[in-house]
Structure 1
Amino acid sequence: MKPPLRIAILECDTPLTRTKSKYGGYGGVFKSLLEAGADALGQPDLVSSKKGLDITKYDVVNEERYPTLGNIDAVLISGSRHNSFENVPWIVKLVEFIRHLLEEQDRIRVIGVCFGHQIVGRAMGVRVDRSDRGWETSVTPVNLTKKGKDLFKLDKLMIHQMHKDMVYDYPPGVEELGYTERCAVQGMYRKGRVITVQGHPEFTRDIVTELLETRHNQGIFDDKAFEEAMSRVANRHDGVAVASAFLRFLLED
């Protein structure tokens, strides 16, 4: 794929107050991430934060709005507080849209993040459900497979997590990227078609702090879980490296 890379961000949720004020929406969060990932590639004549990215945003929850396929090269499915396994109309529509892309649109590539990773798994026919091992939160080490190391250019991935649902099995024909003790399916890859991560490369310390504080106040996280997650929230993480991997995936022949 040659630049400009026309990437449609499918926004599957609305950020909390501070994050929304800074970025506008999750499309803005991902735009910032992808621009940083482009600069980190070190190929400014090809793609950078100033050149080679054409990013559009679509609210698939409230507006159920989707891109015209002829105008894009890839979709990126964002995270969400919603459950990927539910059969509410907008989620069913999203699953069918991704299934259509994967089965009938060889040209358009798919990137999935957290909820988006799970939507890809569901669209490919594997079980997506509540984890029986509880939440993964804050900066978490992910063990990488050989393919994961090759794609992310890392020996181990440090990435923000914020999920209690997961993909239980790998779909046929995808390569495994990583695993943790609590979640065996941390990423999927099929050359020229799809790349996903269960973690949140787009999340920052500030974004995750706001999420943890809000969910602690709501009683979702008890004091112990909140304090443990907060102890790791400022740790170094590899979000930009993951974004660079996403862009290499789009650029590969």
Structure 2
Amino acid sequence: MGPPLRIAILECDTPVEKVNLKYKGYHGVFSLLLRESAAALGQPEKLDPETGMDISGWDVVTAQEYPKLEDVDALVLTGSKHDSFEDHPWILKLIEYTKQAMQDKRVKIFGICFGHQILARALNVKVGRNTAGWELAVCEVDLSQAGKELFGRDKLRIHQMHQDIAYGYPSEVISLGASPKCAVQGMYIPGKLITVQGHPEFREDIMTELITLRTATGLFNKEQSEDAMSRAGIEHDGVAIAGAFLKMLLE
């Protein structure tokens, strides 16, 4: 077995209070998912779930700190409550860093929701509000042939919590799938990049807390809230999605 995979979590937000306390930030949320996915691979001789990964967290919003690319093997760009189409200084800095990472032939990238949109924007695709509205809780994604091969599924079930989308695919990426409300559900560059519009890292407790809080503020109406709550506990493919990324790192 070689040295641990050095995976940097670029934390593009801080989870809501209960989630933050339980999981210790998105670094904790993704660390748990990646270790579960490594265990599901069932190849401890290649990737030990406990010792095979060195997972670090980086506050790219407030501290605006980033790892040196030569010090990491992979980057994870997390979701965020912020809008990927805004020109806040920290977002522009993240886009520039992402462009540099895309040019690095060695570093692999995993983009989640906001992170998926940042990758699209870094590759010169428009991002913005979805006229179809919110996509919430566990939804089905119709996979492309590449998506079926990558994830080992005919369809993908994944948590969603977004009202923003990428408006198209960069020329250099392969489509992974689409849903009725969102045509760009994932991007793929073999050996380099996997993104998903959904949240493989979310669990029922995280989703129900978000729905509860956002319903209380009036962001979701009663019908939206009840519909989302009814699907928050459905079994989903988050472990398989992160597992596909880990397989790419082991190639």
Does residue 133 (structure 1) correspond to residue 132 (structure 2)? The answer is yes
Distance in 2, matches of 1:162 and 1:201, equals: 11
Partner Cα distance (1:193, 1:243) in 2: 14
2:230 & 2:193 partners in 1: Cα distance? Answer: 33
User: 1:78–1:115: 8 Å Cα contact kept in structure 2?
Assistant: yes
Alignment of 1:71-90 (within 5 A): 71-90=71-90
1:45 offset after TM fit, Å?
Answer: 1.0
Alpha-carbon displacement from aligned partner over 1:189-230 (angstroms, at most 9, x marks no partner): 001221100000000000000000000001000111001100
Which residue number corresponds to residue 17 of structure 2?
17
Identity in percent:
52
Give 1:29 deviation, angstroms: 0.1
**Aligned-pair CA distance for 1:48:** 2.8
Q: Which runs of 4+ in 1 moved over 6 A?
A: none
- CA offset at residue 83 of structure 1? 0.2
* Residue number in structure 1 paired with 2:6: 6
Query: In the superposition, relative to structure 1, how do residues 208 and 122 fare at CA in structure 2: closer, same or farther (>3 Å)?
Result: same
- Give me the whole-angstrom Cα distance separating, in 2, the residues matched to 1:41 and 1:145: 23
Equivalent pair of 1:44/1:51 in contact (CA under 8 Å) = no
User: Which residue in 2 is equivalent to 1:161?
Assistant: 160
Distance 1:35 1:50 in 2: 7
Aligned partner letter, 1:117 = H
Q: Is the 8 Å Cα contact of residues 158 and 237 (structure 1) preserved in structure 2? A: yes
| Aligned length, in residue pairs | 250
Residue number in structure 2 paired with 1:55: 55
Match of 2:64 in 1: 64
Two-structure CA RMSD over aligned residues (Å): 0.9
Correspondence for 1:239: 238
- 1:215 aligns with 214
Equivalent position SS for 1:186: strand
Structure 1 SS opposite 2:157? strand
Q: Distance in 1 between matches of 2:189 and 2:139?
A: 24
The one-letter amino acid of 1:232's match is R
Letter in 2 for 1:81: K
Q: Distance in 2 between matches of 1:50 and 1:16?
A: 27
- The answer to whether residue 195 in structure 2 is matched with residue 196 in structure 1 is yes
Please give the secondary structure, in 2, of the residue aligned with 1:247: helix
1:111 matched to 2:94: no
Matched ranges for 1:177-192 at <5 A: 177-192=176-191
1:26 Cα deviation (Å)? 0.5
Post-superposition shift, 1:131?
Answer: 0.5
Amino acid at match of 2:163: K
User: How far apart are residue 51 of structure 1 and its match?
Assistant: 2.6
- Tell me how far 1:3 sits from its aligned partner: 5.0
Question: 1:177 is paired with a residue of what secondary structure?
Answer: strand
Question: 1:208 corresponds to which letter in structure 2?
Answer: M
Contact 2:188 2:195 in 1 (8 A): yes
Q: SS in structure 1 opposite 2:15?
A: coil
Query: 2 CA distance for matches of 1:174 and 1:10?
Result: 22
- Once residues 239 and 198 of structure 2 are traced to their aligned partners in structure 1, the CA distance between those partners, rounded to angstroms, is 13
Contact 2:69–2:101, Cα closer than 8 Å, also in 1: no
Task: Provide the C-alpha distance between the structure 1 equivalents of 2:141 and 2:5, rounded to a whole number of angstroms.
Answer: 28
SS of residue in 1 equivalent to 2:76? strand
Return the alpha-carbon distance in structure 1 between the equivalents of residues 47 and 217 of structure 2.
42
In 1, Cα distance between equivalents of 2:51 and 2:14: 28
Please give the secondary structure, in 1, of the residue aligned with 2:184: coil
In the TM superposition, what is the alpha-carbon distance from 1:21 to its structure 2 partner?
A: 1.0
Amino acid at match of 2:86: E
Unaligned runs of 5+ in 2: none
Is structure 2 residue 141 aligned with structure 1 residue 170?
Answer: no
**What is the CA-CA distance between 1:42 and the residue it aligns to?**
0.8
